[in-house]
């Protein structure tokens, strides 16, 4: 038996027979050319780019969720990057070499530069450039990358490396788990295996060199361990762990039709975050109390310059009808920052603090008005709530509310029906909005706290920067005081508060958030049942006592340790799986 330890990339336990997938090295053809042949090679590059784009676009569609869609868009943008393609063209012209040679040389130069960076995120992006270059080399040589297709039995995939495009192309219906030699926490492969819900462990080192096709494998995506050819004792222990996991999953499934009511009767609504229309089924399957965040920007991912009113209307209508009579909160387009949408003209040196979200919408009212009109048209098909992101103060809120009233008046003039009682809310995700919560609460029907950005801006830490990732702390006293203040100011105006950031989906945060007075938590569907079970096992009085005690502490380290111990004392069955 061999045990490999790595990074738990996607939770779950799976066992089965190994299927080895080792990347065959692709050697680019290296030929010198004559000056008169340069134009022909440049034409080959142009055709290869178009073929590669077409191959990637085949993976797009209405069923793809947000993370895979964004990764596909990143690769498509790389294939349109004038700097990358310009360097390839220049390399051909200057060195008089064939197209394949130029693609390999330029890509290796860019990869070396990225891999030498101390920023882990940049290092991981080098994989994307390699992936894109392989598409180009395939197209130039009329070859196909090896993919795992048309499987006839369930397998555990063991690989030395995987490119995002390979994961897209694979027959995932028969892949029970993945064990990968390489990869990192920020890698696109790690993001994809979570999106595809495949138990996975990455960064195993040399597992693929020690495994043979058909070996018995157990992948533990909870603890980050992979067991190869387990002996009898280990197999028994792992079978017990697997049985506990299965029992835990079965216990969670029993939560589907139950309300999230704490032991003393206090109820917290648990809603789902959705990226695409196709995720509605997942939200309904776990008994979500509605949609707390529908990220409308995905509609703009597949179209250059935006999405038509009719396209948006149909998508909003489908979500609202499917969830009726439960409420659906749709966030207006939130582009910019780390959300890149082609054709919008957003290219800034400091995008996180730049032209993004409502700032973009107020300066592009042509796009924003179309979205508001589509939302109003769809509102008659169920219970729609409109939410504005990145509001920093009352001036911006007044501006968006004024524009909404203008679009309503247009609909009235054109006799287009819409829900006259539609609720409107704002996200609280920047410190200025938190400090002005009492002012903003007088103008809206609800608050939704976006903790991902609120933490980032409160502590002044880029959540995508691995060098300072340790500073991104949800239990920082400054963050918790902001949450407490937002809830107090909202409740003084009798409006509910939802929290839709990553904190909502973290079981460790759930009791504290309830104790702080959150009325709703909105999260990915995969986390909802776990949070529901936790909240149903404690009283609101206990949760409030926890929150009050924590608010007296002065350090996120102290708070984190205390909450972890408090939760483990009461929910040890969650930590022994």
Are 202 and 149 in contact by the 8 Å Cβ rule? The answer is: no
Are 72 and 60 in contact by the 8 Å Cβ rule? The answer is: yes
Rounded Cα–Cα distance for residues 514 and 57 (Å): 43
Please, which residues have CB within 8 angstroms of residue 355's CB and are 6 or more apart in sequence?
A: 336, 346, 348, 363
Rounded Cα–Cα distance for residues 254 and 277 (Å): 26
From 75, 188, 361, 436, the catalytic residue:
188
Q: Residue 32 burial (CB < 10 Å; 0-12/13-18/19+)?
A: exposed
Which tokens belong to 181?
A: 């030699």
32 is catalytic: no
Please, which residues have CB within 8 angstroms of residue 570's CB and are 6 or more apart in sequence?
A: 537, 538
From 361, 436, 500, 509, the catalytic residue:
500
CA-CA-CA-CA torsion sign (118, 163, 131, 61): negative
CA-CA-CA-CA torsion sign (87, 88, 93, 94): positive
Strand 13-21 and strand 155-159: the pairing is parallel
212 is catalytic: no
Which tokens belong to 30?
A: 């290296």
Helix 556-570 and helix 477-492, axial crossing angle in degrees, nearest 10: 70
Please, which residues have CB within 8 angstroms of residue 88's CB and are 6 or more apart in sequence?
A: 45, 99, 102, 103, 106
Are 158 and 21 in contact by the 8 Å Cβ rule? The answer is: yes
- Active-site residues, by number, are 188, 500
């Amino acid at each position: 038996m061999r045990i490999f330890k790595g990074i738990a990339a996607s939770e779950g336990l799976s066992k089965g027979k190994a299927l080895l997938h080792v990347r065959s090295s692709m050697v680019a053809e290296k030929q010198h050319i004559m000056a008169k042949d340069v134009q022909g090679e440049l034409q080959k590059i142009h055709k290869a780019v178009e073929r590669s784009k077409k191959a990637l676009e085949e993976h797009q569609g209405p069923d793809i969720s947000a993370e895979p869609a964004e990764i596909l868009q990143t690769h498509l943008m790389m294939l349109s990057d004038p700097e990358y393609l310009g360097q390839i063209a220049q390399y051909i012209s200057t060195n008089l070499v064939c197209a394949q040679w130029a693609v390999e040389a330029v890509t290796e130069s860019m990869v070396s530069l990225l891999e030498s960076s101390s920023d882990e995120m940049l290092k991981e992006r080098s994989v994307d450039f390699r992936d894109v270059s392989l598409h180009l080399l395939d197209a130039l040589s009329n070859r196909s990358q090896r993919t795992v297709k048309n499987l006839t039995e369930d397998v555990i995939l063991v690989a030395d490396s995987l490119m995002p495009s390979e994961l897209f192309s694979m027959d995932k219906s028969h892949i029970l788990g993945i064990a990968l030699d390489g990869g990192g926490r920020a890698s696109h492969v790690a993001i994809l295996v979570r999106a595809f819900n495949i138990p996975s462990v990455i960064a195993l080192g040399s597992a693929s060199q020690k495994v043979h096709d058909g070996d018995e494998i157990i992948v533990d995506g909870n603890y980050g361990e992979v067991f190869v050819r387990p002996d009898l004792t280990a197999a028994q222990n792992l079978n017990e762990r697997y049985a506990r996991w299965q029992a835990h999953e079965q216990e969670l499934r029993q939560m589907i039709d139950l309300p999230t009511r704490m032991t003393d009767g206090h109820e917290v609504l648990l809603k789902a975050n959705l990226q695409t229309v196709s995720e509605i089924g997942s939200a309904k399957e776990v008994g979500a109390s509605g949609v707390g965040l529908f990220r409308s920007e995905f509609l703009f991912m597949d179209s250059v310059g935006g999405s038509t009113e009719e396209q948006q209307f149909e998508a909003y209508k489908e979500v609202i009808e499917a969830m009726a009579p439960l409420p659906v909160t749709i966030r207006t387009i939130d582009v910019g920052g780390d959300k890149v949408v082609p054709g919008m003209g957003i290219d800034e040196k400091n995008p996180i603090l730049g032209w993004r979200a409502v700032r973009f919408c107020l300066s592009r009212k042509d796009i924003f008005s179309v979205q508001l009109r589509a939302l109003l048209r769809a509102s008659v098909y169920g219970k729609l709530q409109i939410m504005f992101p990145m509001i920093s103060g009352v001036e911006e809120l007044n501006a968006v509310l004024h524009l909404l009233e203008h679009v309503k008046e247009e609909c009235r003039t054109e006799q287009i029906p819409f829900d006259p009682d539609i609720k409107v809310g704002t996200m609280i995700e920047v410190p200025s909005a938190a400090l002005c919560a009492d002012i903003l609460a007088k103008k809206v029907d609800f608050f939704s706290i976006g903790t991902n950005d609120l933490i980032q801006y409160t502590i002044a830490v880029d959540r995508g920067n691995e060098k300072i990732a340790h500073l991104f702390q949800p239990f920082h006293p400054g963050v918790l005081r902001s949450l407490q203040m937002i809830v107090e100011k909202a409740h003084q105006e009798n409006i509910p508060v939802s929290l839709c950031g990553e904190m909502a989906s973290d079981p460790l945060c759930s009791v504290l958030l309830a104790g702080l007075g959150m009325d709703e938590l909105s999260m990915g569907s995969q986390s909802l049942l776990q949070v529901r079970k936790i909240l149903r096992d404690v009283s609101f009085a206990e949760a409030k006592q926890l929150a009050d005690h924590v608010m007296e502490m002065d350090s996120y380290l102290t708070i984190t340790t205390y909450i972890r111990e408090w939760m483990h004392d009461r929910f040890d069955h969650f930590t022994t799986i």
